[in-house]
Amino acid sequence: MLQYLILQLCDTATSYCHYGNSHCEAQLMPLPILEKAVLWAMKEDLSVQVVYPDYALPQEYREVIDRVDHTDIVSSHSDLKDVAQVVVVDDWDELQDISFAKDAVYVLRTTLTSFYKRYEELTSVLQQVSRLNVVFLDVEHFTDADATVYGKALDFLAKDIEQLYVNGGQVQLNLLTDRMMLNKMNNCSAGETNVTLAPDGRFYVCPAFYNESNGYSIGSLDEGLDVKNAQLYKLDHAPICRHCDAYHCKRCIWLNRKTTLEVNTPSHEQCMMAHLERNASRLLLDALRKHGTFLPEQESITEIDYLDPFEKRKEWQ
């Protein structure tokens, strides 16, 4: 069931996920389309997430957006960075200059190589934020050889988080804390619980499907939604994911299509990373419980002997 509408206000709006945005020329969503989109979201009782470009919007746009409850997603270069609910950072060096707000979510988009070199710098960031999401831009390049260094980085950050909790602080890091708090899948669910409206007035599965040249539309405000093979975007039609307990995995529809040509089938790389995070979360949960009661209603995360659930496919039958 549809729950969220993502409004990409401009071709140059910031990317907040795995996809890139190569658009250089600003094309702002026409005001009448924005007005119609806001009204549609209100009628459908949808939560609205607004993705902004870096330049300031005309006042009339802000007035229309403020007609509906919404979440603002901006880059760290935006004039709205001090008041937005989600701030996206694309440069590690910027982390040293940001005045973090405790009530905002920060998204760090990074390559694997940069993360391996600089993950220790996140220690100071975790001390200043309530939530940090780390998003990788090159998941498809993750190799089996990366498992050791990625696992080492996760273990380092887990110790930081453990110490913060022991000292009375609280922080969420998507790579480690999300899985501890879940007992069922909590994925991106693009195309199922959320869709994107782009500046051209058409719906897309997510912003990546608009920003990439090989994307496709799934309808418009005038025509309505038209999701072909809609069942394929649902968990019960994902042959691997429905048997998996890496509940925090984004199960990115765009990455699935990019790497396996199937929207409901993740790549080996995506599964490996999610399970390394799952295993590190298990150890972190156990470590936190040694210091006292922690998430008492949650079950322990079981130990597993694989990193790709595809290896266990014969057991599903």
**pLDDT 10s digits, 251-263:** 999 999 999 999 9
For residue 4, list its beta bridge partners.
Answer: 47, 194
Angle at which helices 253-260 and 268-289 cross, to 10°: 140
Q: What span, in angstroms and rounded, lies between the C-alpha atoms of 36 and 26? A: 21
What is the pLDDT at residue 241?
A: 92
Q: What span, in angstroms and rounded, lies between the C-alpha atoms of 198 and 220? A: 10
> Under a CB-based contact definition with an 8 Å cutoff, are residues 264 and 232 in contact?
yes
0.85 exceeded by pTM? yes
pLDDT band at 134 (very low <50, low <70, confident <90, very high): very high
Q: How far is CA 235 from CA 172, 184, 263, 275, in A?
A: 25, 11, 11, 18
Name the nearest CA neighbour of 199 among 4, 33, 5, 21: 33
**pLDDT 10s digits, 228-287:** 999 999 999 998 899 999 999 999 999 999 999 999 999 999 999 999 999 999 999 999
**pLDDT 10s digits, 166-216:** 999 999 999 999 999 999 999 999 999 999 999 999 999 999 999 988 889
What is the pLDDT at residue 287?
A: 95
Q: Is the model's pLDDT at 316 over the cut of 80?
A: no
The DSSP result for 3-14, as a single string, is -EEEEE-BTTPP
> Under a CB-based contact definition with an 8 Å cutoff, are residues 79 and 35 in contact?
no
DSSP letter at 222? T
What is the pLDDT at residue 187?
A: 92
What average pLDDT does range 298-305 have in this prediction? 89
Q: What span, in angstroms and rounded, lies between the C-alpha atoms of 251 and 264? A: 8
What is the pLDDT at residue 317?
A: 60
What average pLDDT does range 124-146 have in this prediction? 96
Give 277's contacts (C-beta < 8 A, 6+ positions apart): 154, 175, 176, 179, 246, 248
**pLDDT 10s digits, 52-82:** 999 999 999 999 999 999 999 999 999 999 9
Burial class (CB in 10 A: 0-12, 13-18, 19+), 221: middle
What average pLDDT does range 100-114 have in this prediction? 97
Place of tokens 């009204």: 39
What average pLDDT does range 14-39 have in this prediction? 94
Sign of CA dihedral 260, 265, 267, 270: positive
Q: What span, in angstroms and rounded, lies between the C-alpha atoms of 258 and 312? A: 24
